């Protein structure tokens, strides 16, 4: 699915309006939390998953702690 979204001024910020089709695709409603993740090919928008967020926090902690070891293993 590819959509063009227009940026709009919201108070002192800038926001986007998500069409109904995208909300249905993401299975989210008003008030839900979305996660924007930087990827090699741009960014990804997904529905927030608390269990995944907890897992990623553990991964990031281990990644910082064992950065050099992981770098060597990747060679």
With a CB cutoff of 8 Å and minimum separation 6, the contacts of 13 are none
CA distance 67 to 60: 10
The pTM of the whole model exceeds 0.75: no
Residue 14 counted as domain residue? yes
Instruction: Tell the residue number behind the tokens 């590819």, with chain if given.
Output: 2
Digit-coded pLDDT (tens) for 1-31: 788 899 999 999 999 999 999 899 888 999 8
Q: Domain of residue 52: give its range.
A: 7-74
Strands 42-47 and 34-39: antiparallel
With a CB cutoff of 8 Å and minimum separation 6, the contacts of 26 are 34, 45, 46, 47
CA distance 55 to 51: 6
Tokens representing 21 are 């089709």
Count of the separate structural domains present in the chain = 1
Digit-coded pLDDT (tens) for 61-71: 998 899 999 88
Residue 16 counted as domain residue? yes
């Amino acid at each position: 699915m590819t959509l063009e979204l227009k940026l709009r001024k919201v108070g002192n910020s800038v926001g986007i309006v998500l069409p109904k089709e995208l909300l249905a695709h993401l299975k989210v409603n008003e008030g839900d939390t979305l996660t924007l993740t930087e990827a090699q090919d741009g960014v990804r928008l997904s529905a927030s998953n608390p269990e995944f967020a907890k897992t990623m926090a553990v991964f990031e902690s281990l990644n910082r702690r064992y950065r050099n070891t992981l770098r060597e293993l990747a060679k």
